[in-house]
A and B are shown apart, each in its own frame.
Chain A
C-alpha cells in the first residue's frame, strides 16, 4: 500500500511567534477583528485549528511545519462568520487560496485580515487580494513544493514518462478502493465551497453514494475536474484523508497540465480567468481527429 509522506518533525518552531501574537493582540484590542484563526496543539501531537477571541488565548497559538490544514475553509463557515471579522495566521498556501477565492468572487476585499511573516521575521498584515499577490512570491516557503510528493520508487506507475497505463490504473484502483467516502478531502478544501456538492444531488444521482470501486473513481474524477485550474496545491486534502490517499497528486497533475497548455496557474492572481471557462482559438491538441 502506498503511503503518503507525512510531515512528522513538528520541530521547526517559528521564532517570531511572539511578534505574530503581539500583532494579533493589537488587532483584538483595537476591535479591528473579533477572532484570530490559527493553529494550536491538539492531542497526540496533532495540530488543530484554533479560534482565539480573548488576548490570553493567543499564548496557545503555534506555527510550525505541521500546520498544513488550510484555514481558509473557516472563513466561509457561518459559525465562524458569526464570531465577527477574523484575522488569520497565514501561510503561503492559504494566501494562494485567498487569491483564487477572490478570482471566483468568493473572497471580498477586506473580508478578513491575514497575518504572515516575511523572511526577515516581520509581521505582514494583509487584507486585499492585491496586497497578497504583491508579497506572496517573497514569503518563505512560497516556492517550494508544499504538498506531499510521491517518490518514484514507491509509485513507479506515476513516475514521469511512464507508459504503463495498466500499472497506473492498478495503482489508482488500489488507492481509491480504500476511500470510505467520508468527504474529509472536500471539507478540508477551501475551493470546495459549493452549497450543494454534486455528489449530494440526486436528480439524477450522477455519482453513486456508497463507497465502492466505480462510485469512488467517479467521485475522485469529478473532484479533480472540479478543481482543475483552481487547486492551489495546499495539500490539505491528502493531509485530511484518513485512508492516506495521495489525492493532491491528481490535482497537482492537472494544475501542471493546465499551466503547460494554457499558461494559467491558480492562486497567483485575483484577476485570473478560470482556465476552463475561457478558450483560445489556438488551443492545440492532437487527439481530435
Chain B
C-alpha cells in the first residue's frame, strides 16, 4: 500500500504489514471502531488505541499492545472493519496480535481463561477432527480451574440431548492431526 511508510524497522506495525498487508499508518484515529465496538468499555485499550500504540513503531508501546487484554477480548464481530472509513482490517490485526502474544508468551493474565478455551477447543479438533463439546468443556474446566462454572447448566443440556457423551472421530482424523502439526512446525520455522 502506497500510504504505508516504514519508519521503524521491524516494529510490530511493520510485521503486521508484512504478514497481513494491513498498514497501521492508515488509521487516522477517528475512533469509529471504538464507537461501535461492543466491548470498548470493557477493555484496557479501546481498538483505536491499540492502533495508536502500534503507530509509533516503538518497542515499549508495541509490547503494551501485545500484553493488552483487548486483543483477547476482541470478539471478531467485525463491526469496526465494516465501518472503518480507512478500510483498516482491524480484526486481521487483532488475529495477528493474538497469535504473536500467545507465541511470545506475553498474553494478559486475565486472558488465561480465553487461551485455555482456545487450547481446549483446538485440542478437541486435533484429536478427533471435530469439536467434541462435552470433552472440550471438561478440558476447559481442567485448564481454567473453573470447575464450578455452569455446573447447573450441564445436566439441563444433557437432558435436552444437546451434549453427547462420546466424541465422533472422523476417518480423516489423522490427516487433520498432520495438518495441525504441519502448521505448528511452519509457525516454528518462521519464529
Contact, chains A and B (beta carbon distance below 8 A): no
Residues of chain B at the chain A interface (Cβ within 8 Å): none
